[in-house]
Amino acid sequence: MAEMASQTLLVIDDDVAVRTSLELFMKQSGFRALSASSPDEALTVLKTEPIELIIMDMNFSVETSGKEGLKLLNGIKRDSPNIPVILITAWASIQLAVEGMKAGAADFISKPWNNDHLLQSVNTALAISNSKKTIDKVKPERKKLDSLYQLKNLVGEDPEFLSILDTIGKISSTDASVLIVGESGTGKELIAEAIHNNSHRKNQAFVKVNLGGIASTLFESEMFGHKKGAFTDARHDRMGRFEMADKGSIFLDEIGDLSLNDQVKLLRVLQDRKFEVLGSSVTKSLDIRVISATNRDLSEMVSAGDFREDLYYRINLITVKIPALRERPDDVPLLVNHFLNNLKITYKKPELRVTRGALEWLKDLPWPGNIRELKNLVERSVLVTNKDTLDIDDFAGHYHVHRKKPVEKNLPPVGSATIDDMEMSLIKQALKFHDNNISKAAKSLGLSRSALYRRMEKHGLDK
């Protein structure tokens, strides 16, 4: 904590016991800590002291229901936008904390707080704030990034992609929750692995969880574990994914597919960093880095009531948006050669190469399946042609076969069809084309199996 010793924190709370406790803990943790009991006193301190982070309660009186706290927060972010603010609020006032996050707060902690969790949040907020102050004005170069971070599996030199690599390199050293968004096949899992591998948790577990593949009835058992006899089929004790990830990182893939009921259970754990194994009354604590990913628009889901707003702000302290492959066509040849180098070893074909004409042709394709689609096409073409040098014709046939999905035909006219009508039509055609193979139909629609099943049930479609 030596590097944090000179940093000054301000604690704002009208409860003298809370204020004193927080101030003492922050001093014991190596910070210079000041306190204020009211908005007016806080604003006076901010004018006279070099405050670098604020910890504040949102409720200064029952009558104002948090309005006074929100007014103070808005004033702080207006006058001192670079000072991170961490909110402390009761679980019953989580919606108030969400309003605070919208206003620019860095994080929120619920009462009664866990000191380790609070300290982790403080250090993370300060680290992110410091990284913003030291942003390199020069566009990042691939060679420099590779010298600073472990990025060997992330292929590309597109400027936007390099900017993403620069961002994940800088945020990896923090414990901030990260939300990775992007279309299916863009490499979200590889980005998550890179964040873990460049963090102080790199020697601990990296646990991957496909939330879209877990039935709601099994969610608690899968995530929290269970004791023998906890339910009918619980014949043995089972460790949950969260406990597996303790001290390390957990990757929550397809978080947009989680039911509202399970979102509540997940939020509790992410908020309190505590859980109970099914069939046990013992509460266990967690020390984890949370990385989530989705190919869906969570902000739209929040507006539609399909995703909890408080969970949304809990998981996306930092958002990393991965561009589609069609948005970085110059990276296609680099990716093709990367895949070829791996295939040379796998299939013992050291002379494998792709002609320049074929690389240019591949660059011009739309790639709806993104990097995953490109990888599959390259490997399929190598296997089927059994040639050392691949040209356009060696890829073209396989690409058209792969794309043969009549999911856009026979749709109802846009003016007369609802979104549900179009969704049902797409599902029917995908199922028909893939001979009712759920996995293939789901993949062609960019959905998980469980997500497709839910949509089939919604529309009354029987396999």
Number of structural domains found in the chain: 4
CATH classification at residue 257: 3.40.50.300
Section 394-415 average pLDDT = 55
In a domain, 228, yes or no: yes
Q: Which of 362, 378, 402 is the last residue of a domain?
A: 402
CATH classification at residue 352: 1.10.8.60
DSSP string, 311-376: HHHHH-SEEEEPPPGGG-GGGHHHHHHHHHHHHHHHTT-TT-EE-HHHHHHHHTS--TTHHHHHHH
Write out pLDDT tens, residues 317-349.
899 999 999 999 999 999 999 999 999 999 899
* pLDDT computed for residue 400 by the predictor: 55
Q: Domain check: are 297 and 429 in the same one?
A: no
- Tell me the angle at which helices 115-133 and 16-28 cross, rounded to the nearest 10 degrees: 70
In a domain, 138, yes or no: no
Name the phi and psi angles at 273, rounded to 5: 55, 40
Indicate whether 3 pLDDT > 70.
Answer: no
Predicted confidence band of residue 205 (pLDDT cuts 50, 70, 90): very high
Domain that holds residue 455: 405-463
Name the phi and psi angles at 253, rounded to 5: -85, 150
Q: Domain check: are 174 and 281 in the same one?
A: yes
CB 249 within 8 A of CB 209: no
Cis peptide before 112 (omega within 30 of 0): yes
Which residues are 40's β-sheet partners?
Answer: none
* pLDDT computed for residue 234 by the predictor: 73
In a domain, 37, yes or no: yes
Q: Which of 306, 321, 336 is the last residue of a domain?
A: 321
Helix H or strand E segment including 123: helix 115-133
Indicate whether 417 pLDDT > 60.
Answer: no
* pLDDT computed for residue 327 by the predictor: 96
Neighbours of 203 (CB within 10 A): 9
In a domain, 139, yes or no: no
Among the listed residues 372, 369, 427, 437, the one whose alpha carbon sits nearest the alpha carbon of residue 403: 369
Q: Domain check: are 164 and 310 in the same one?
A: yes
Cα separations in angstroms, 430 against 355, 422, 423, 436, 456:
34, 12, 11, 8, 12
* pLDDT computed for residue 133 by the predictor: 67
Q: Domain check: are 152 and 271 in the same one?
A: yes
Give percent of the chain with pLDDT exceeding 70. Answer: 90
Q: Domain check: are 316 and 332 in the same one?
A: no
Q: Cα separation of 328 and 348, whole Å? A: 30
DSSP state letter for 184: T
CATH classification at residue 61: 3.40.50.2300
Q: At which residue do the structure tokens 């680290």 appear? A: 127
Across 395-429, b (16+ Cβ under 10 Å) vs e yields: beebbeeeeebebeeeeeeeeeeeeeeeebbbbbb
Neighbours of 454 (CB within 10 A): 16
Q: Cα separation of 166 and 171, whole Å? A: 9
Q: What angle do CA 436, 439, 442 make, to 5 degrees?
A: 90
Give the list of residues 6+ apart from residue 460 with CB closer than 8 angstroms, or none.
Answer: none
Q: Domain check: are 73 and 178 in the same one?
A: no
Q: Domain check: are 416 and 364 in the same one?
A: no
CATH classification at residue 460: 1.10.10
Q: Domain check: are 213 and 109 in the same one?
A: no
Q: Domain check: are 73 and 221 in the same one?
A: no
In a domain, 142, yes or no: no
Which residues are 324's β-sheet partners?
Answer: none
In a domain, 140, yes or no: no
Global pTM value? 0.79
Q: Domain check: are 163 and 76 in the same one?
A: no
Give the list of residues 6+ apart from residue 41 with CB closer than 8 angstroms, or none.
Answer: none
In a domain, 143, yes or no: no
Q: Domain check: are 115 and 196 in the same one?
A: no
Write out pLDDT tens, residues 30-76.
999 999 999 999 999 999 999 999 999 887 755 556 788 889 999 99
Indicate whether 113 pLDDT > 80.
Answer: yes
Q: Cα separation of 125 and 20, whole Å? A: 22
Among the listed residues 43, 41, 38, 79, the one whose alpha carbon sits nearest the alpha carbon of residue 57: 38
Average pLDDT, the chain: 87
Indicate whether 412 pLDDT > 50.
Answer: no
Q: Which of 133, 160, 186 is the last residue of a domain?
A: 133
Phi-psi category of 156—alpha, beta or left, where left has phi over 0 and alpha has psi -120 to 50? left
The highest-confidence range among 13-22, 399-408, 438-447, by mean pLDDT, is 13-22
* pLDDT computed for residue 423 by the predictor: 73
Predicted confidence band of residue 23 (pLDDT cuts 50, 70, 90): very high
Ranking 266-280, 293-307, 320-334 by mean pLDDT, the lowest is: 266-280
Among the listed residues 204, 147, 212, the one whose alpha carbon sits nearest the alpha carbon of residue 175: 204
Q: Domain check: are 91 and 114 in the same one?
A: yes
